[in-house]
Structure 1
Amino acid sequence: MKLSCQPFTVHKRVPLTISRGTTAQSTNLWLRLSAEGIEGWGEAAPFSIGTHQQTLEILQADIARLQTALEGFHPFDRQAIEAVVTELSIHSASRAALDVALWDWCGKATGQPVWRLLGLDVERIQPTSVTVGISSPAAAQQRSQDWLQQTSARALKVKLGSPNGLEADQAMFQAIYDHIPASVSLSVDANGGWTLDSAKVMAEWLSDRQVTHLEQPLPVSQNADLANLKQHSPIPVFVDESCFNSSDIPHLANLVDGINIKLMKAGGLSEVLRMIHTAQACGLQVMFGCYSDSSLANGAMAQVSPLARYLDLDSHLNLRDDPFTGLTLANGRLLPPNHPGLGLN
C-alpha cells in the first residue's frame, strides 16, 4: 500500500475562545492510502494540551516515516501495522489519520459503511451539541441563537473558565440560559479553568439551571481533586484533557462520571472502540468531542456515534471552507452516510 498526504487549511466562521486561548483556523493533513485501486482517507489535526504539543510539522514528519515503513504492507495487515506504528512512536493524531484511512479502505473494499461493518444501529445516535465559546454575555447570547437558526440544534455546550472569574462565567451562561428553549439541553466545559472551590460553587449553580454534565472543570495537574469534586457535585463530572486513551481510564474510574473521547487524542477508531469498552467496563459514561476537525474526522467519529451517550462533533459546522461533504445533520443528529467506508466526498 502507498500513503500520500497533503495539508489543507480550514477557517472558522466564528473564532472559538476557551480558557486556554482563541482559535480561528487550522492546517490539517489529508492522508490517502492506496491499495488494489481503492483509496482510503484519514485526517490528522494538530492540537495542544499544556506541554503536550502535536504540531503540523510533527505530524508531517510522522507521515513521512510511515510512507517508507508501511510500503510493503496490505491494508488488512492491521496487527502488523499497529506494531510498526508503536515501534516508531507515531503521535496520536498521525495514528488517527492512518487508522481511519484503513477503516475507510476496508469499508470500500467490502462495499459497506464502517458503521455497518461494526454492526451498529444509527437510530441510536444522540443529538450533537454545538459550542459557544467564551465571550461577553451579549455575544454569547447572539452566538447561541445563531447556532440554533443554522443547525436546529437540540444540545448546546457552553465554554466557561473565563480568566475574568466566576462572575463573568455566570453572567455569560445566564444570558444564554434566559433565551434558550427548554427543548435544548445545556452542558458546560471549563477546559480546566477552575480551582476545586470554584468548581464546587459552579457545579451547584449550574445544577439549578438544568445542566446535563460538567466537563474538565479542573486542570490536569489537579486530577487528584476530582474525587472530592465528584462527591460534592450534583451533576455528572466528565474529563477531556485528563484522558487520552484506554490506559488512562482505569485510573479515572473512581474519580469521575464520564470521559470525552476525541479521535486525535485516541489515535484512531480502533482505539476509540477500546476506550468505549474500557469506559463501559469501569462504569463510566462516554461522550465524543473534536478539535478543529473537518467533516473527514468528524465523519469517522459519526460512524461509531451509536456507542456514545453525548456527542460534541460540531467543529466542521463552524467552517467556512470544509473540503469534504457527505455528512447529514437531521433534527440535531449528525448521521453518517450509507455509502461504503466513511462515505465522504
Structure 2
Amino acid sequence: MQIDVELFTVKKRFPLTISYGTTTQTTNVWVKISEDGIEGWGEASPFSAGGNPQTTEIIQESLQKIAPTLEKFHPSQRQEIEQILIKANLPSSTQAAIDIALHDWLGKRVGLPLWQMWGLNKNAIAPTSVTIGINTPEAAKQRVRKWLEYADIKVLKVKLGSPEGIEADKKMFLAVIEEASVQEVFVDANGGWSLADAIKMGNWLGGMGIKYIEQPLAKGRETELLELKQQQPLPIFVDESCFHSIDIPKLRNYVDGVNIKLMKSGGLTEAMRMIHTARACGLQVMFGCYSDSVLTNTAAAQLSPLADYLDLDSHLNLINDPFCGAILHEGCLCPNDLPGLGVEYRAVSA
C-alpha cells in the first residue's frame, strides 16, 4: 500500500483557553493510504496532554520513518499493522492517523459507512457538548451567545481550573449559567484543582444540575480521586489520566467514567477496546477531541452510538476546516451514509 502525508493548518474562530494553556491554531497531518484504486484517509493532530507533547514535527517524522515498513502490507491486514505500530513505539496520534485511514479504506472497499459495518444505531447518538474556555465572566457569556447563534446547541462543557483560583471559576461558571439555555452542562478542570479545591467545587457545583466533573486533579494524582469521590456528590470522569484500555481497570474504583480520544488511544481499534473495557468495569464512556478537524470527529462519530456523552466540537470552532463529513443536527453530530468515514475534501482559503 502507498502512504502519502500532507500538512494542513487549521485556525480557531475563538482561541481556547484551558488550565494549562491557550490554543489559536494547529498544524495537523493528513494521512492517505492507497491500494486497489481506493484511498483511505486519517488525521493526526498534535496535543500535549499527559506530559509527553506530540508535536506536528514529531508526528511527521514518525510517519516518514514507518511508511517504508508498512508499504509491503495490504490495508486489510490491520492486526499485523497494529502490532508493527505498537512495536515501533510510535506517537499515539501517528497510530491514530494510520488506523483511521485503514478503517476508511475498508469501509470504502465494502461500500458501507463504518457505523453500519459495526451494526450501530445512529438514533442512539447523544448530543455533543460545545466548549466554553476559561475567560472573564463577560467574555464567557459572549462565547455562549455565539455558540447558541451558530447552531442548535443542547449541551455546554465549561472549562474551569483557572490559574486565578476557584473564586474566578465560580464567577465565570455563574455567568455561563446565566446566559445559557441548554439541556445539560458538563465541567472540565483539566487537572487544574488541588484536592481541597476539587472537593469544594464538587459540592458547590453539585446543586446546580451538573452531570459530571472531568479531570478534577492532575495526571499522577489518581489515588486522591477516591477521597474526592467520597467527599462530593458529582460523578468523576478522567481524560489526561486515561490513554489506553490498560489504564481503565486501575481507575475503576476511583472514577465513574473515562474520556476516550482517538489521538490518545491510537485510533478506532483501541477506542473500541476502551469502550468494552470501560463497560466491563462498570464505567461510563464519553468521546472527546483536541484540535481535530471534521475528519477525526467524523471518525469518532462513527462509534458514538456506544458513548454516554460526547464532546466532539473542535471542528465547529475552525474557520478553515478542509473537510466535510458528519453534520450537526438537533445538537447531535451525525455521520452520513457514504462509505467509510464519509468524509470529503473541500477547498478553503487559508
- 2:145 is aligned with 1:108: no
Whether 2:131 is the aligned partner of 1:142: answer no
Q: Distance in 1 between matches of 2:86 and 2:183?
A: 42
- Where in structure 2 are the equivalents of 1:108-127 lying within 5 Å? 108-127=108-127
Q: For residues 83 and 313 of structure 1, what CA distance do their matches in structure 2 show?
A: 28
Question: Are the equivalent residues in 1 in contact too, given 2:295–2:325 (CA < 8 A)?
Answer: no
Query: Cα distance, 1:148 vs. partner?
Result: 1.2
| 1:270 paired residue number | 269
Equivalent position SS for 2:198 = helix
Q: How does 1:42-81 map to 2 (within 5 A)?
A: 42-49=42-49, 51-81=51-81
Separation (CA, whole Å) in 1 of partners of 2:105 and 2:44: 17
- Using the TM superposition, give the Cα deviation of residue 53 of structure 1 relative to its aligned residue in structure 2, in angstroms: 1.1
- Tell me, yes or no, if structure 1 residue 330 matches structure 2 residue 326: no
Partner residue in 1 for 2:279: 280
| Separation in structure 2 between the aligned mates of residue 13 and residue 137 of structure 1, nearest angstrom | 19
Once the two structures are superposed, the pairs formed by residues 1-345 of structure 1 within 5 Å of their partners are 1-49=1-49, 51-181=51-181, 183-345=182-344
Alpha-carbon displacement from aligned partner over 1:293-342 (angstroms, at most 9, x marks no partner): 00000010000000000000000000000000122110000000100000
User: TM-score, normalized by length of structure 2?
Assistant: 0.97
Amino acid at match of 1:205: W
Tell me which moved more, 212-221 or 34-43: 212-221
> Equivalent residue of 1:221, what SS?
coil
**AA in 1 matched with 2:96:** A
Which moved further from structure 2: 142-151 or 34-43? 142-151
Q: Is the 8 A contact 1:177 1:209 kept in 2?
A: no
- Return the letter of the residue paired with 1:275: M
- Give the whole-Å Cα distance in 2 for the aligned partners of 1:220 and 1:16: 21
Q: Distance in 2 between matches of 1:237 and 1:148?
A: 27
Secondary structure of residue in 1 paired with 2:220: helix
Structure 1's consecutive aligned runs of 4 or more residues displaced over 2 angstroms after TM superposition are: none
Task: Kindly state the Cα deviation for residue 49 of structure 1 after the two structures are TM-superposed.
Answer: 2.0
After superposition, give the CA deviation of every residue in 1:147-187 in whole Å (9 maximum; x if it has no partner).
11112110000000001111100000001112222x42101
- Give the C-alpha shift of residue 194 in structure 1: 0.2
| Corresponding residue number in structure 1 for 2:347 | none
Alignment gaps of 5+ in structure 2: 345-350
**Across the two proteins, how many residue pairs are aligned to each other?**
344
**1:50 Cα deviation from its structure 2 partner:** 5.0
* CA RMSD in angstroms, aligned pairs only: 0.8
Cα offset for 1:51? Answer: 2.6
Please tell me the residue identity of whatever aligns with 1:24: T
What is the distance in 2 between the residues matched to 1:123 and 1:174?
33
1:136 is matched by which residue type in structure 2? Answer: T
Shift of 1:233: 2.1
Q: Give the Cα–Cα distance (whole angstroms) in 2 for the partners of residues 51 and 83 of structure 1.
A: 24
CA distance in 1, matches of 2:104, 2:343: 10
Q: Contact (CA 8 Å) 1:96, 1:266: kept in 2 or not?
A: yes
Q: Bigger CA drift: 325-334 or 46-55?
A: 46-55
* Cα distance in 1 for residues equivalent to 2:129 and 2:290: 14
Q: Give 1:79 shift.
A: 1.4
Alpha carbons of structure 1 residues 50 and 307: separation in structure 2 relative to 1, 3 Å? closer
Deviations 1:229-258 (A, max 9, x none): 111221100000000000100000000000
Partner amino acid for 2:141?
Q
Gaps of 5+ in 1: none
Contact map agreement 1:40 1:104 (CA 8 A) in 2:
yes
Q: Distance in 2 between matches of 1:312 and 1:164?
A: 25
Q: Distance in 1 between matches of 2:53 and 2:258?
A: 21
CA distance in 2, matches of 1:193, 1:231: 19
Contact 2:50–2:241 (CA under 8 A) maintained in structure 1: no
Q: Give 3-state SS (helix, strand or coil) of 2:224's partner.
A: helix
SS in 2 for 1:142: helix
- Alpha-carbon separation, structure 1, partners of 2:210 and 2:116: 33
* Alpha-carbon distance between aligned partners in 2 of 1:221 and 1:102, rounded to the nearest angstrom: 33
Supply the AA of the counterpart residue of 2:216.
P
SS in 2 for 1:212: coil
1:303–1:50: structure 2 CA closer, same or farther, 3 Å change rule? closer
